[in-house]
Amino acid sequence: AQSVAQPEDQVNVAEGNPLTVKCTYSVSGNPYLFWYVQYPNRGLQFLLKYITGDNLVKGSYGFEAEFNKSQTSFHLKKPSALVSDSALYFCAVRDMNNNAGNMLTFGGGTRLMVKP
Amino acid sequence: DAGVTQSPTHLIKTRGQQVTLRCSPKSGHDTVSWYQQALGQGPQFIFQYYEEEERQRGNFPDRFSGHQFPNYSSELNVNALLLGDSALYLCASRQQGVIAGAFFGQGTRLTVV
């Protein structure tokens, strides 16, 4: 079985400061990892993915994430937060092993609050 | 490109009734998945359709069923609605064989009273 943990329900950061949203995962094989953002009353918007290769992945809106296999983590980062980044962020994992299917397993979400 | 479109956006049903939600995938996508997102939680996988067949199913009862049409659009049906079925239902589409982030629709907010 695969699972995702987002240990922080909420992250508060001042505008202009760096931000980190944490994610750890568990899969039986190797992971595909994703970050999505959700604004109020909206669906999920794709931010970035890790498939293979470079452990630092760059995505939309200046976000990036670092894959750490030994710590089974995929933390989302941004060097300088904007007030408009305030939203709900979800980490998701899919097992590369096709026998596990193609389903995405999501974490519980982390609310990011960026204050002016 | 309209992306993934879902209808209706909001729906109120009475306990015990049946409901059908609809999804049109992003152009070029042939695989549709449905997720349930309860308030304050992450999305939970319901099932996935490809080539008009259910290919994978999450931990949901048989009251949840679906269908995929030849044009790749999909329906989610829920019978004998319970209060606990109140949630945001999300449709996601992708192209089979392509490893990419799935594209999500804006969701259907179902309220069971």
pLDDT digit string, tens, across residues A77-94: 999 999 999 999 999 998
Binning pLDDT at 50, 70 and 90, where does residue A98 land? low
Give Cβ neighbours of residue B18 (< 8 Å, ≥ 6 apart). Answer: B77, B78, B79, B80, B81
Q: Assess whether the previous peptide bond of B8 is cis (omega < 30° from 0).
A: yes
Interface check for B103 against chain A (CB to CB < 8 A): the answer is yes
Rounded distance between C-alpha atoms, residue B109 and residue B9, angstroms: 6
Mutate to test the interface with A, among B89, B93, B99 (most CBs of A within 10 A): B99
The minimum CA-CA distance between A18 and chain B, rounded to whole Å, is 25
Please identify among residues 20-79 of chain B the ones whose CB lies closer than 8 Å to any CB of chain A.
31, 33, 35, 40-45, 48, 55-56, 58
Kindly determine whether residue B48 and residue A42, on different chains, have CB atoms separated by under 8 Å: no
Beta bridge partners, B50, equal B31, B53
pLDDT of residue B101: 75
**Nearest chain B Cα distance for residue A101, angstroms:** 7
**With an 8 Å Cβ cutoff, are B99 and A36 in contact?**
no
For residue A108, the Cα-to-chain-centroid distance in whole angstroms is 11
Q: So what's the pLDDT on residue A100?
A: 54
Measured in whole angstroms, the distance separating CA B20 from the mean position of its chain's CA atoms is 10
Where residue B99 falls among pLDDT bands split at 50, 70, 90? confident
How confident is the model over B71-81, as pLDDT tens digits?
999 999 999 99
Per-residue pLDDT tens over the stretch B15-70: 999 999 999 999 999 999 999 999 989 999 999 999 999 999 999 999 999 999 99
A vs B: CB pairs below 8 A: 62
DSSP A30: P
Which distant-in-sequence residues (6+ apart) come within 8 Å of A50 by Cβ? A31, A32, A33, A34, A57, A65, A67, A74
Q: Structure tokens of A48?
A: 């970035």
Cβ density class A10-42: b for 16+ within 10 Å, e for less: ebebeeeeebebbbbbebeeebbbbbbbbeeee
* CB within 8 Å: A90 and B43: yes
